[in-house]
Structure 1
Amino acid sequence: MAADVEDMIVRLPQFTENMYLILHRHMHELEERYHESASDSVSRRLACTLIRLTEQIGIPNGEGAEIHISRYELAQMSGMTLFTVSRLISKWAKLGLIVPRREALVMLDSKRLDDLTSSGDPSVDDAAAAF
């Protein structure tokens, strides 16, 4: 198998370029996620995960973009507890940013969610703790 890949690298320069671009994109995404997990608040981490999922797998519907994912999966992807994810989703639903569904949610306003969580205001997380 390694010999086949080496052969394609030699014969197909476009293959090499495409492979490099794919690897570069994946490394950049990993670096962003590491930075998020190391330095961002829990609300910011979950917001970034939801915004990224909306862009990648969101299915447009009449309300917004539906993401088929469980809260447990969101917790695993964001590096937080199920309780924290549920608390933030409830808060954002009350603010009209998302609509929670069973094993899914609908993103109504990703721009507002991004603005709210990127403000650096600690009360965003404090308010979530009250729920």
Structure 2
Amino acid sequence: MERRIARALLRLSEQTGRQVPGGILLDIRLSRQDLAEMTGTTLYTVSRILSRWEQEGLVKSRRERVLIRRPDGLVQVAEDTSPASADAGGEITPGEDARQSLPR
């Protein structure tokens, strides 16, 4: 789930991001509920992940505003291909063929 949220924030930063002192400000109103709906998760999950990322210095989230403080850190989360993150995100990693896991 972290990968989905990181990817959504990075995509939004490319579309609406504005360089400001301290990072990239998403130049749109974005509530945690909006982010949850965009990524197919719950408000609780988004809040928990964003709170942890704030503690780690990756983002700063305030009342419908998100500042990406360390885009490189979010890229690492978004590109994490470890088995644990693949299971958590429910996504197939690039290069992985879904047909390999189907019974013949």
Confirm or deny a common fold (TM above 0.5). Answer: yes
Distance (Å, rounded) in 2 between the aligned partners of 1:48 and 1:119? 11
Deviations 1:21-48 (A, max 9, x none): xxxxxxxxxxxxxxxxxxxxx0000000
| Residues 1:97 and 2:69 aligned together | no
Displacement after TM superposition at 1:115 (Å): 0.9
Residue aligning to 1:50: 9
Q: Which has the higher strand share?
A: 2
2:33 partner letter = Y
Give the SS at the match of 2:81.
Answer: coil
5+ residue gaps, structure 1? 1-41, 127-131
| Residues 1:71 and 2:12 aligned together | no
Residue aligning to 1:83: 44
Off by >4 Å, runs of 4+ in structure 1 = none
Conserved 8 A contact 2:31-2:64? yes
More contact order relative to length (CA 8 Å, sep ≥ 6)? 2
Displacement after TM superposition at 1:61 (Å): 1.2
Give the SS at the match of 1:111.
Answer: helix
TM-score by length of 1: 0.58
| Residues 1:115 and 2:98 aligned together | no
Q: Which has the higher helix share?
A: 1
Distance (Å, rounded) in 1 between the aligned partners of 2:77 and 2:12? 18
Give the SS at the match of 2:30.
Answer: coil
TM-score by length of 2: 0.72
Residue aligning to 1:129: none
5+ residue gaps, structure 2? 89-104
| Residues 1:59 and 2:18 aligned together | yes
Larger radius of gyration: 1
Aligned residues: 84
